[in-house]
Amino acid sequence: MGLENAGLKTDDKGRITVNDHLETTVTGIYAIGDVVRGAMLAHKAEEEGVLVAETIAGQKPHINYLLIPGVVYTWPEVAAVGYTEQELTKDNRAFKKGSFPFKASGRARAANDADGFIKVLADKETDEILGVHMIGPRAADLIGEAVVAMEFRASAEDIARISHAHPTFSEAFREACQQASTGKAIHL
């Protein structure tokens, strides 16, 4: 691409080197998306584009990369945000978990699409949601509620106490949060 002609540097994987504000080694030149470190996701690149625009405009933006969801657009869909069990265990962070199978969801059964589950990981002491992982119907859409909850540092109990329309796929997230928070889900 001739990056060296502009004075840009790349890392050992060929990605353009940027700082925390996504500015390259050349002052005033920014890079985002698939050409920089991190996941190759369109919505990550979009957030980075906003960050760069706001930085240039003199604002003080930030991105919490932990809260950028990963989605696999297969059938069933797969989606995740936050920490995994393996990461929490490696960091010696005490956590609890809850899961809810779509086969126990009235909406999923009515749609004849009941394969999969939602798993919620929450801090053992504070109940703050640390990770959400799902496989099943509408996972690409459902992960958004988990991102909002985590962005506002909601507890599993917070989500468990919020009314969800019935019957909906999103009730499965609420039930998984109930399971994580109290050890019991209503519909299991």
Catalytic residue among 43, 133, 164, 166: 166
Residue 133: active-site member:
no
Query: CA-based diameter of the chain, in Å?
Result: 62
Going along 9-151, which residue ranges are E strands? 70-72, 77-82, 95-101, 117-123, 129-136
CA pseudo-torsion sign 116, 122, 124, 125 = negative
Judge whether 16 and 24 are in contact, CB under 8 Å.
yes
Looking at the annotation, which residues are catalytic?
166
